[in-house]
Amino acid sequence: MSETEKIPAKQMLRDVVDMVYREAQEAKDRGEPVGWSSSKFPAEFTEALGLKVVYPENQAAAISAKKGGQRMCEHAEAMGFDNDICGYARISLAFADGAECEEKPMPQPDFLLCCNNICNCMTKWYENVARMHDIPLIMIDVPFNNEKEPSQAQVEYMKAQFKAAVEQLEKIAGRKMDEEKFNQACANANRTARAWLKACSYLQYKPSPLSGFDLFNHMADIVTARCKVEAAEAFEALAEEYEERVKEGTSTWKYDENYRIMFEGIPCWPVLRTLFEPLKEKGINTTAVVYAPAFGFVYEDIDGLAKAYCKAPNSVCLETGVEWREGICRENKVDGILVHYNRSCKPWSGYMPEMERRFRKNLNVPVVSFDGDQADPRNFSEEQYKTRVEGLFEIMEEEAAKKERV
Amino acid sequence: MEIKNLLAKFKHISDNPKEMLDKYISNGEKVIGCFPYYVPEELVEAAGMVPFGVWGGSKKISLAKEYFASFYCSLAQMNLEMGLNGTLDKLSGIIVTTLCDTLRPLSQNFRVGVPNIPFLFLNHPQNRKEDFGITYTKEIYSELLEKLVKISGHSPSDEDFVNAYNNYNESRALRREFVKLAGKHPDKVSAVNRSAVLRSAYFMKKKEHSEMLKELNELLKKEEVKEWDGVKIVTSGIMVENKALLEILDKHKVAIVADDVAHESRAIRVDVDLNEKDRVLALAKQFANQDDDTILYDPTIYGRPKNVANLVKESGAQGVIIFMMNFCDPEEMEYVSLKKELEEEGIPMIKIGIDLQMEDFGQAETSIQAFTDVIDF
């Protein structure tokens, strides 16, 4: 292909996710088993075994972004699931129950891969789906960490679980895991993670060559395809594009960059445009999102792999969570922080007030919060959001004026 | 002592945990607070200290709001509140677990918000049954024991472990027996008193509690079983201890003949095997054998709802009242399967939303009354 015909990275990334879902459907059509996986289950094993897997969290986000979240949540509520259960879980349970869903169809599962580094709700969510479909559930349990590094006992526990999971997966696949293919999957995952981190690192440029909201969309790849070489290539292409933009002085953020903020939390997918509008109007670019460090994990060996999967936003201690965020806030030179209190995510929002205090003290930037939900639009108030962004903007203006006077 | 006097004694202790705490402290004993769920209290006792259950209990929630938004269960918020407002200051340590999504951030909020009380972190595994799960549990229990020994200055001998395990096994057995006896004699043991007997165990040395309970159980065994002119039910939930709520059950002659309550029977199902000479391993195996709880991963996938249905059949109950703790994800996530199982078995059930701060039970009373009418019909 000639240089002029180069496919934009954004398209490449979209194609990779489409490929994951298409291949899963094709496998299902051929009568092969297809799995559902939590977003940070070690995909290296299924990739090495050639098992096709789709991702309910990614599906739920896509359904929500296409305005199907409320309908699916209401279906789950009619089944008896309470409306304060995670919106992703409700959407997924509704889909597992056969609720119609044109926004993001995917095959129903033949086996389940649950890793509760994301949350404990995941355990019960997958148990429910296992019951509904009478299918095997492969469980990798990650006890919550109170220290910055997992203990060796936890690493050994993780490795033993990996071994047991592989044995179960081999039975499902009907073949043994090939060591070479496993090594290749790990190499791909590391390459993807490096490329992802590199792409995210361009947020440090001032002005930024990208809108941080772009990363929310690209997360789909890091979740669904990090062990695939195509994902690594697409992120490398994305990093190259950002590099070009830095040289050219252009950006995917088409507005003034008066201020730079960290957007804390999972975005409210049903109202992404509504989130974006006041930021755009005020010239506030998002230059820090915690997904960069949360999914940008590189490891060298099986111990490293085990440790990497111990570290998800909801399984690390408060100090590590603060460190991740303050690191990207400093690197990417933010002027303020906008915190999403996400009704769907108790573990995430549960240490936000303390984090807010630490951000203010350690980073000396204004922090403002709003109430919302990653999937259920009923838990979001546009008025409140706009007022809070306005408030954050005003404080950042005052702070900037103070700095000028100095 | 007569049944009613013994029950009054249990009730006094259940209503006044601070008195017990002060008594132990003034005796020069060290007391360790134990948050929900599955804290191996035996280790605390073996290390020469008094385990003390901390399952809510503050009158209001205000300081904890600085740490939690509104959508967190009142149990977690109250526990944090009591740390922040000084109620727990006399404790020599506090054991905090992480088996649900609210306990995860609670552990961090408590550690940083209440720095004056030694913080003892315990992160149980969910894959607890396999050898690797048991090994991991043993490791974290050993670490916990080490920290407890540092606080007490007493490294337990084998005899200390055996004594503690015997005390706890005996206490669990007596409480299990009491649950059955209370179910047989609702005319003698009201729902309020049943709760008080079980709840007081969290605030007493198990040996002391057992001495009283042994006497009560013996007296109950001698009582003639009278035909109950009300209804018999199984309760299900995290906690069912609000007196106003229990008084409604008593008022409408609703007898609790068995329970699937985390604070009650779920906590006393499994004993420690004294034949296992590796004493910490014995405790790890005890945790491995815990099952049928919304808080725990169920590798059989189908176990817990069936267990509740069986409980109804075995106890002769006519229905189930699910007391749903507001904002409790694990209970809410398991509700649908439980409802389905009970419906398939033809067991009537209702769900009543509660939290530990609740004062107005008007709606709950109407629901309970309607439910008893349905059962009676």
CB count in 10 Å sphere of residue B28: 6
What's the pLDDT score for residue B376?
A: 78
B31-34 β-sheet, strand order? B50-53, B31-34, B93-97, B119-122
Q: CA of B108: which chain A residue's CA is closest?
A: A318
| B105 contacts A347? CB cut-off 8 A | yes
Identify the pLDDT of residue A404: 83
Closest partner CB to A161 (pick from B106, B127, B336): B127
Closest to A112 measured CA to CA, from A35, A191, A10: A35
Q: In what side-by-side order are the strands of the sheet with A111-115?
A: A52-54, A34-37, A111-115, A137-140
B9 CA: distance to closest CA in chain A (Å): 39
- Residue B181 reports pLDDT greater than 80: yes
Categorize the per-residue pLDDT at A6 as very low, low, confident or very high, splitting at 50, 70 and 90.
confident
For A81-102, give the DSSP string.
Answer: --TTS-HHHHHHHHHHTT---S
Task: Domain ranges for chain A, please list them.
Answer: 7-181, 247-405
Confidence at residue A325, expressed as pLDDT on a 0 to 100 scale: 96
Q: Are A314 and A348 in contact (CB under 8 A)?
A: yes
Q: Which residue type sits at B193?
A: N
Look at residue A2 and tell me whether its pLDDT is greater than 60. no
Q: Please answer whether residues A38 and A122 qualify as being in contact, where contact means their C-beta atoms are separated by less than 8 angstroms.
A: yes
pLDDT at B337: 97
Residues of chain B contacting A157 with CB distance shorter than 8 Å:
125, 127, 132-133, 135-136
Q: By C-alpha distance, which of A43, A7, A25, A57 is closest to A190?
A: A43
pLDDT above 90 for B262: yes
* Mutant choice from B35, B67, B71, B84 vs A, greatest count of A C-beta within 10 A: B71
Q: What is the pLDDT of residue A4?
A: 59
pLDDT in tens, A223-233: 999 999 999 99
Confidence of residue A293 (pLDDT cuts 50, 70, 90): confident
Residues in chain A with CB shorter than 8 Å from the CB of B110 are: none
Contact criterion met (CB below 8 Å) for B29 and B325: no
Nearest to B205 by CA among B52, B101, B360, B85: B52
pLDDT at A1 over 80: no
Using CB atoms, which residue from A124, A144, A160 is nearest to B104?
A144
CB contacts of B107 in chain A (<8 Å) are 144, 146
Task: Give which of B323, B101, B137, B37 is closest to A123, Cα–Cα.
Answer: B101
Give the class (CATH, top level) of A247-405. Answer: alpha beta
Is there a contact between B126 and A141 if contact means CB atoms under 8 Å apart? yes
The CATH classification number of A7-181 equals: 3.40.50.11890
Mean pLDDT of B147-158: 98
Q: What is the pLDDT of residue A357?
A: 97
Domains A7-181 and A247-405 share a fold: yes
pLDDT digits (tens, 9 = 90+) for A312-325: 999 999 999 999 99
* Partner-chain contact A89 B333, CB within 8 Å: yes
Mutate to test the interface with A, among B297, B334, B350 (most CBs of A within 10 A): B297
Contact between B132 and A157 using a beta-carbon 8 Å cutoff: yes
Residue of B nearest to A142 (CA): B125
The pLDDT tens digits of the residues spanning A97-124 come to 999 999 999 999 999 999 999 999 999 9
Asked whether the beta carbons of residue B130 and residue A160 sit closer than 8 angstroms, the reply is yes
Which residue of B123, B127, B298 is in closest CB contact with A127?
A: B298
Q: Distance, in angstroms, between A100 CA and closest chain B CA?
A: 20
Q: How far is A15 from chain B (nearest CA, A)?
A: 35
pLDDT (mean) for A138-165: 97
Distance CA A213, CA A252 (A): 10
Q: For B125-134, what is each residue's pLDDT tens digit?
A: 999 999 999 9
Mean pLDDT, residues B306-321: 97
Which ranges constitute the DSSP H helices of A97-228?
121-133, 152-173, 179-201, 213-224
Q: B123 and A121: CB-CB below 8 Å?
A: no
The amino acid occupying position B115 is P
Which range among A99-108, B55-64, B311-320 shows the weakest confidence by mean pLDDT? B55-64
Q: Do residue B123 and residue A80 have CB atoms under 8 angstroms apart? A: no
Q: CA-based angle B216:B217:B219, to the nearest 5?
A: 65
Quick check: A157 and B125 CB within 8 A? yes
Residue A303 has pLDDT above 60, yes or no: yes
Residues of B in contact with A318 (CB under 8 A): 108, 111-112
Token pair for B66? 């600085």
Name which of A351, A369, A370, A376 to mutate to probe chain B: the one with the most chain B Cβ atoms within 10 A of its Cβ: A351
Q: If you ran DSSP here, which 8-state letter would residue B274 be given?
A: T
Q: Average pLDDT, whole number, for chain A?
A: 96
Q: Which chain B residue lies closest to A145 (C-alpha atoms)?
A: B123
CB contact under 8 A, B301 and A137: yes
Compute CA distances B344 → A23, B300, B334, B355, whole Å: 39, 19, 16, 29
Task: Tell me the shortest Cα–Cα distance from B206 to chain A, in angstroms.
Answer: 30
Q: What is the DSSP letter of A120?
A: S
Indicate whether A52 pLDDT > 90: yes
Helix, strand, coil % in chain B, rounded to nearest 5: 55, 10, 35
* Residues of chain B contacting residue A354, judged by C-beta atoms under 8 Å apart: 67, 108-109, 112-113
- What's the start-to-end Cα distance of chain A, in Å? 55
Structure tokens at A44: 């290296």
Residue A47 C-alpha from the chain's centroid: 19
Q: Which of B63, B107, B147, B333 should be substituted to probe chain A, the one whose Cβ sees the most A Cβ atoms within 10 Å? A: B333
pLDDT value at B370 more than 60: yes
Q: Return phi, psi of residue A37, to 5°.
A: -130, 140
* Residue A274: burial class (beta carbons within 10 Å; 0-12, 13-18, 19+): middle
Q: What stretch of H or E contains B368?
A: helix B362-376
Contact A120 B135 (CB under 8 A): no
The mean per-residue pLDDT over the stretch B292-310 comes to 96
Measured CA to CA, the distance from residue B65 to residue B79 in angstroms comes to 12
Mean of the pLDDT values across residues A154-173?
A: 98
Whether residues B132 and A130 touch (CB distance < 8 A) is answered with no
- Mean pLDDT lowest among A295-299, B11-15, B276-280: A295-299
CA distance A397 to chain B (A): 27
Residue found by looking up tokens 């350690």 in the block: A362
Instruction: Give B-chain residues touching A155 at CB under 8 angstroms.
Output: none
Interface contacts (A, B; CB < 8 Å)? 151
Residue A403, pLDDT score: 85
Contact in structure between A314 and B108 (CB atoms under 8 Å) = no
**Tens of pLDDT along B96-120?**
999 999 999 999 999 999 999 999 9
Best A38, A120, A322 residue to mutate vs chain B (most B CBs within 10 Å): A120
Contact B111 A124 (CB under 8 A): no
CATH of span B21-154: 3.40.50.11890
Prediction pTM value: 0.96
